[in-house]
Amino acid sequence: MQPAASAPSLAPVMPPVMIGGEIPRIDVADFLAGKPGAAEIAAAQLRFAFENVGFYYLAGHGVPQSLIDATYAEAARFHAQPMEAKLAVKVDEHNIGYMPIARKPPPNAAAQGKKPSQNEAYFLRRERSASDPDVLSNRRFHAMNKWPTESDLPGFRENTLRYLSTLEALCKRLVKLYALALDLPETYFDACFADPHMILRMSRYPLIDGSDESIASLVPHTDSGFMTLLPPNKVQGLSILLPDGRWMDAPGVEDAFVVNGGDILHRWTNERFLSTPHRVRNVSGQIRYAIPFFCDPNHDTMIECLPSCESAARPAKYPPIKFGDYALWFAAQRYEHMAKVQTPTETDIAPGARALERWS
């Protein structure tokens, strides 16, 4: 990682809008358009969001609503298939493919005394060909996607890949704001996200009994990585654990993604930026679909304390680790089908684990 060069100084800028009185709304339209000074304003707002909440609403992102709507429709179309068709692309050791509702809770849910999360999901990663060297070497998390047949779901692959590429391009631009927010040159993270890990999770949440607190659509958790983007959803269900210990139902905001950071961002920033627990409880009275997009650094990126986040008074709290090793460990904690894979043995590999202990 390059040393920290001089970066523009960010003046404190409070976000003009706080959604629900708690979560900042950050409009990046001027930044994406290249308007002078817009990057510094958005970065200051982003810094406020991550030092105080760990979530923000992303407006002015430029992703067409028609593309978002089409991707929700594709998620519903995938999950409407017969079970045998979905099991034909069952999830594998690369966490690619279809995952049914779990039979037993994974370690993180069991530690909270929770039943298995009540959702089924279909995972996609970067599109790869059979001749890709990483595919040929069976490198973890670099396998080919498992697609339904074109005859079963015509247009599904094309439409979904369009969403993946659009979100990847957006995230590659947004990381410049993260660098500025951390008092680093805006290009600091560019090399780390030249070929980022990315995951699209198409989830289907059946209804749950709202009176049974042991059942959740998605148990309280922190995310593993750097950036998670959730597009506007007409069916609510996401709740965020605020710093004061209150659960807040995240309001739906038209045209704004809900964005959060995960444990890698928390670790990389020496806990300066928050990795905030959240959950899903679908008590809406209807089926809920979600299409979160996860964007993380390149597989071999070394995650070590950023130079702007370490000082004599605040020494680095975690040893360096490659992102790919961390991702493997995290998957083994969250998914039943990954629980038996060989993972790193570092005792305190996940900063989010301690956060969960505080409120589970």
Residue 322: CATH number of its domain: 2.60.120.330
- DSSP 8-class letter at 90: B
Looking at the predicted structure, is the pLDDT value of residue 227 above 70? yes
Q: Is the pTM of this model over 0.85?
A: yes
**Domain-embedded: residue 347:** yes
Q: What is the pLDDT of residues 261-288, one digit of tens each?
A: 999 999 999 999 999 999 999 999 999 9
**Domain-embedded: residue 47:** yes
Give the count of beta carbons closer than 10 Å to the beta carbon of residue 274: 21
* CA–CA gap between residue 96 and residue 202 (Å, rounded): 11
75 token code pair = 């998620």
Domain count of the chain? 1
Distance, CA of 118 to chain centre: 19
The pLDDT value recorded for residue 337 is 72
Residues 122/78, Cβ–Cβ less than 8 Å:
yes
Q: What is the pLDDT of residues 15-41, one digit of tens each?
A: 568 999 999 999 999 999 999 999 999
What pairing do the DSSP bridges indicate for beta strands 23-27 and 55-59?
parallel
pLDDT above 90 coverage of the chain, percent? 79
DSSP character string of 308-354: GG--SSS---S--EEHHHHHHHHHHHH-GGGTTS-----TT--HHHH
**Domain-embedded: residue 10:** no
* CA–CA gap between residue 274 and residue 265 (Å, rounded): 8
The pLDDT value recorded for residue 13 is 62
The pLDDT value recorded for residue 4 is 46
**Domain-embedded: residue 3:** no
Looking at the predicted structure, is the pLDDT value of residue 11 above 70? no
**Domain-embedded: residue 182:** yes
Confidence of residue 104 (pLDDT cuts 50, 70, 90): confident
**Non-local CB neighbours of 34 within 8 Å, separated by 6+ positions:** none
Confidence of residue 113 (pLDDT cuts 50, 70, 90): confident
**Domain-embedded: residue 12:** no
**Domain-embedded: residue 263:** yes
* CA–CA gap between residue 49 and residue 6 (Å, rounded): 23
Structural domain for 198, as ranges: 22-359
**Domain-embedded: residue 6:** no
Confidence of residue 7 (pLDDT cuts 50, 70, 90): low
* CA–CA gap between residue 285 and residue 164 (Å, rounded): 30
Looking at the predicted structure, is the pLDDT value of residue 360 above 70? no
